[in-house]
Amino acid sequence: MEPLSLAHVIADGGFVHQIKWDGIRGIVKIESRAAAIYTRHGIECTDSYPELYGLANQLRAKQAVLDGELTVFDGETPSFYYSLRRNRTKSKNAVKRLAQLYPVRYIVFDLLYLDGEDLRQNPLKERQDILRAIFNDNSVSALTENFDDGQALFQVMRRKNMEGIVSKRADSKYTAGKKHIDWYKTKTAKKLLCVVAGIYLKNRMPASLVLGVYRDGKMQTIGKVSSGLKQSDIVLLEQTIHKQKVNIKKDIVWINPKLTCWVRFAEWTHTGTLRHPVLLGFSDKDAAAATGQEISI
């Protein structure tokens, strides 16, 4: 079941509100005291998360299907970048190493099946009550909390630079996909300091920027931006090309990564690029400051 996007927080008293954990959606099937983990597209990824092999021991049940978020924390806040890195890693040795460096915690928010009974037609509140009765929190998994005041929770998410909230109708059934009017997500706006790694040309004029950030000491490209680029910016970019050009490949002029800019964006895609980026303006900050740290606005 996927939440629908909403620009404002629902004030209806029939909804509960939860933190939107910024990670990878994960469905967990418990059977015969073993846990199998699947992506939201049904692809099994159990071996990518060895720290979660013991999930079955947290449930007082023989069979169960859980819905939740595979989340890596950077301090007290989730890191989508590290969650994505864990999700993409397949080598057994690399998985073992990253499980120690960036351990995943499974944040559970729903129960779909329990000991032979399909619970998807039961109200959300009832599914949650059953889940609380059979689940034990530990260091690798936890149940998400419900909050009554969605607006207050959303403001906390903004202060903590977290992704936003999910609002769910308390009596809703579990309906796969987005054909419903029961779950909504409201996201905080974000901005990010980026390095200009390259400049796309159109008719020999700067048309969009290749963006990058520094992670683990290396620059990683995170997409491109054209929206927000003003005519006055073109002069600066032409000067940058003249002074900092490294090489040209097809229609991209690659430059020394010294120029930085602020970009507003909606969210990260599952390929690690920015969704709906808008250029806010150029910055005088050093390129080394572009570490991928998001700021809620």
H helix intervals, the chain: 80-88, 92-101, 124-134, 150-159, 231-244
pLDDT in tens, 273-295: 999 999 999 999 999 999 999 99
Mean pLDDT taken over the chain: 95
Question: pLDDT of 79-129, one tens digit each?
Answer: 999 999 999 999 999 999 999 999 999 999 999 999 999 999 999 999 999
CA distance 224 to 87: 23
Count H helices and E strands in the chain, helices first: 5, 21
- The answer to whether residue 267 scores a pLDDT higher than 90 is no
Check pLDDT > 90 for residue 139: no
pLDDT in tens, 207-244: 999 999 999 889 999 999 999 999 999 999 999 999 99
**Residue 31's closest CA among 135, 127, 115?**
115
Q: How far apart, in whole angstroms, are the C-alpha atoms of residue 297 and residue 279?
A: 14
Contacts of 202-207 spanning 24+ positions with Cβ under 8 A: 202/251, 205/234, 206/233, 206/234, 206/237, 206/238, 206/241
Map tokens 């351990």 to a residue.
103
Confidence at residue 270, expressed as pLDDT on a 0 to 100 scale: 84
Percent of the chain having pLDDT more than 90?
A: 88
Whose CA is closest to 112, among 3, 28, 40?
A: 28
Render pLDDT for 240-249 as a digit per residue (tens, 0 to 9): 999 998 999 8
Write out pLDDT tens, residues 36-72: 999 999 999 999 999 999 999 999 999 999 999 999 9
User: Model confidence at 8, in pLDDT bands (50, 70, 90)?
Assistant: very high
The runs of H, that is alpha helices, within 35-190 are 80-88, 92-101, 124-134, 150-159
C-alpha 82/C-alpha 98 separation (Å) is 9
| Contact present, 34 and 13 (Cβ < 8 Å) | no
Whether the CB-CB separation of 197 and 219 falls below 8 Å is answered with: yes
Give percent above pLDDT 70 in the chain. Answer: 100
Q: How many CB atoms lie within 10 A of CB 149?
A: 12
Domains and CATH numbers, the chain: 4-187 (3.30.470.30), 190-296 (2.40.50.140)
pTM: 0.86
